[in-house]
Structure 1
Amino acid sequence: MIIPKNSEEIELMRESALVVSKTLGMIAKEVKPGVTTLQLDKLAEDFIRSEGAIPGFLGLYDFPNSLCMSPNAQVVHGIPNDQPLQEGDIISIDCGAIKNGFYGDHAYTFPVGEVDKETSELLRVTKESLYKGIKEFKIGNRVGDVGYAIQKHAEDHGYGVVRELVGHGLGRTMHEDPEMPNYGKRGRGKKFVEGMVVAIEPMINMGTKSIKQLKDGWTILTRDGKPSAHFEHDVALIDGKPQLLSTFEYIYESLGIENDEEREFKK
């Protein structure tokens, strides 16, 4: 069952989402060769708590850390460890926080130093597919319209779209209805309703769409060992149109990047 939020609840969710956005902005400065994902995880946990929030992933379904850290061929749900990042790696950093009783859930895939052109293109196209999906999150559309837009853009560039892992509704729990697949058919699936909030999160592989899971019970890998990218925004349906609750602006500010990609989705 979809749980629409009223305007007050959406503003509380915006606060939760911005905690996560600020956390990723802080982490952006620290993603470099030689740093370990455990070090980044500790920085994130401390920062989230300093913002008056609680790490949303820590202990959720027994996950052991505050960040999901998934480098290179890891798609999502990677567990932080003491292995240093290396020049040319990419790493998906997925972060959650609870504030005011609501979750924020937000992800960005970072290059570590300089990455090759093929991998850089994967990051670009995956992030583009996120915004193409967000554009379809509007009154009159359905879940399949978002999935179709993401799938078409990714597959037009020759990439594989993960099927087993999806976006989701968001609220007082991390995962609410509806599921938001990154593939689908136009006009299919649940109708969007005013006030709903979702996490839209393309997971796009350079090669096959097929995945496998490590014995740790969490880490998801591409089956062919090629890189995967993952970007995620929290989006509310307000006045019939998508409005971002999360933002990549803190990341771009940290990295000295000028980007106006979020302009049409702002409050």
Structure 2
Amino acid sequence: MDHILEVRNVSLQFGGVKALDDVSYHINKGEIFSLIGPNGAGKTSMLNCISGLYRPSNGEIRFEGKNILGMKPYKRTNLGIARAFQNIALFAHMSVLDNLKLGRHILMKSGPLSGGIYWGKAAQEEVYHRRAVEEVIDFLELQEIRHTPVGTLPYGLQKRVEVGRALALEPKLILLDEPMAGMNNAEKEMMARFILDMHELKEMTVVLIEHDLGVVMNLSDHIAVLDFGKQIGFGTPKEIQHNPEVIKAYIGEEEVG
């Protein structure tokens, strides 16, 4: 199976603190891949390295065979990497629709004057991008709140819009940092269904950080486990559940179903 992302011996250091310490794993194209571990294990730092917010101290990250270290975040987005943040990164005063439209601005090819210079070019592109946004609204079942200011929505719906902003970029690889945090069970079940649909219907590769181990074990094809910046496990859910080091550091003696 093709590897869409390869992380090779990645370390990340802040002064004397190692956030990541020689981490290596690969992600297969089209799978759901989870990063798990205790708080402070380095999971979000890992996503920051993949998306370009942090530059590793050592190592290499390859996307579709191309080394992306040193590449600006927007260029990684153009390659097909999108990110939904743990802390919601939306414009609270703007509507759901406008937040999703804004998520696509980086894909715009027509300049601000193109509508006047090339008749209809910018307008045609606007129609194309609006169609893509409408598909996200339908996919995440946001039709009834499309014109609602995001800041007035319940937290669970705001998290869904945050995921939608990343989906609006039509990525090949989507990074989801705790998309179910703060949700009730019904909201978690719905988000899990959306993640499965990203994988099965949209054929996206999904990287998931999530603390609910039941969700992780049910959704994931492969899992990497971090603890204090070190990788202590990598494999299928079944392999992770029976990894003694992972059980000791994170899962605990009770087996996760």
Q: Which has the higher contact order (CA 8 A, sep 6+)?
A: 2
Q: Same fold (TM over 0.5)?
A: no
| TM-score, length basis structure 1 | 0.31
| TM-score, length basis structure 2 | 0.32
Please say which structure displays the higher CA radius of gyration: 2
